[in-house]
A and B are shown apart, each in its own frame.
Chain A
């Protein structure tokens, strides 16, 4: 019988710990597939963050390095500078990348580090129990914003891709979603492109992926897909912000 679906070589044979309806699992799989399809699993070194995906080092089937909260781009810089032939990526959430790790991500991009960042934005701190993130939407409730996020006190949600796209060294910046099949397909394409940019030595690449957190959003998995589409996408528009021009 023909095999129509199989586990990617890019993932270890280990069961995910993620909550029902969480899209981390999908994104892990996409990254694993891309590494396998590009034939770079043996050269890959991943840097795991602090956050829900803190255990990502157990899930990817390649060498992994667990970083301190927000520091993954600095750790990845250290690795890539010693191993320029290595394929180095960071996997970070929005608390990690957009809050405590802003300096590290901005300057990794600024130096044009030849690394790839997978940025999972679910508008909340998941692992610590649903606190407000810089990406939490206005009015959205969080355990540290029990009355809903208020722009007067906490500012407007931070759009990282738009910000990073202003930096010359960030040669590939794209925002995608995984709340539907079309989005998942586009996300995989974007991840592949981001790694290809690294392999070509062109500079820093990042894919911001809108993701769900039914547990901390306090809604069902199905409702959360709808919530993402109706609330996150209008504020965080999908699309490519920067890409190396063809033929260059």
Chain B
């Protein structure tokens, strides 16, 4: 891996920001160079939210991702429409097919369809749809092991929420299985 540049986008409340922070955290644990850059402002209050995550073997230059995203994880339709064009050729587009019926338009990229909300609901908690998406992305790129993401999760959750770790782990694994 040289440099992974990932755009994550969705509705506010879909856990897009925390998914990005988790991957950033895991990258840091793996001694990689990382940055996390959120969109901010009024759109944070319930509209679309997105963040740019860079995980690299060399120091991160610009934390902004423009037309050179290596991957995009889109949780809703507006995000697909907005960010498909930001992928570079051969980039990976992970689409939440539970909420997005539309298919990827570009032929020079690789699209993957993950029914994240359905899987999350099967697991009994719709909030882990983001983890399902992240699991699929990790399987596709292997930039950090799922175990490291779990380690990061344990630190982010703190002692009071350790009981949520198994659920999140299962969600990551189910997402990974979708694209195996």
Chains A, B in direct contact (C-beta < 8 Å):
no
Residues of chain A at the chain B interface (Cβ within 8 Å): none
Residues of chain B at the chain A interface (Cβ within 8 Å): none
